[in-house]
Amino acid sequence: MENNFSENNNMSNKENKNNKPKFGIEWLYFIIFGFIFLIYFFNSSGRVQRTTWKDFINNMVLSHDVEKVVIVNNRIVEVYIKK
């Protein structure tokens, strides 16, 4: 009788081990996709777009869309747009 009980107990232990969630390749894909999603939507560097002086004055400054202007190396200007 004890053998039957121990055999059943061993079988139930094996079944419990097989029912545990496994770390598969799908989880790795999910983590990579989530990381790319976070980088894309929470990118703090913003978008860069070149423009002409005329477009800058007519479309951004006159419509009060400019938050600040930073001049870099007397050649490049960084314009920050209001949110």
State which H helix or E strand residue 76 sits in.
strand 76-81
Structural domain count of the chain: 1
The first and second tokens of residue 23, run together, are 């770390």
Q: What is the dihedral of CA 76, 78, 79, 81, to 10 degrees?
A: 150
pLDDT at 14: 56
Length of the chain: 83
pLDDT at 45: 60
Which domain range does residue 73 map to? 2-81
For the chain, list residues with pLDDT below 70. Answer: 1-21, 43-46
Beta bridge partners of 68: 80
pLDDT at 33: 93
Q: Give the 3-state secondary structure of 21-75.
A: CCCCHHHHHHHHHHHHHHHHHCCCCCCCCCCCHHHHHHHHHCCCCEEEEEEECCC
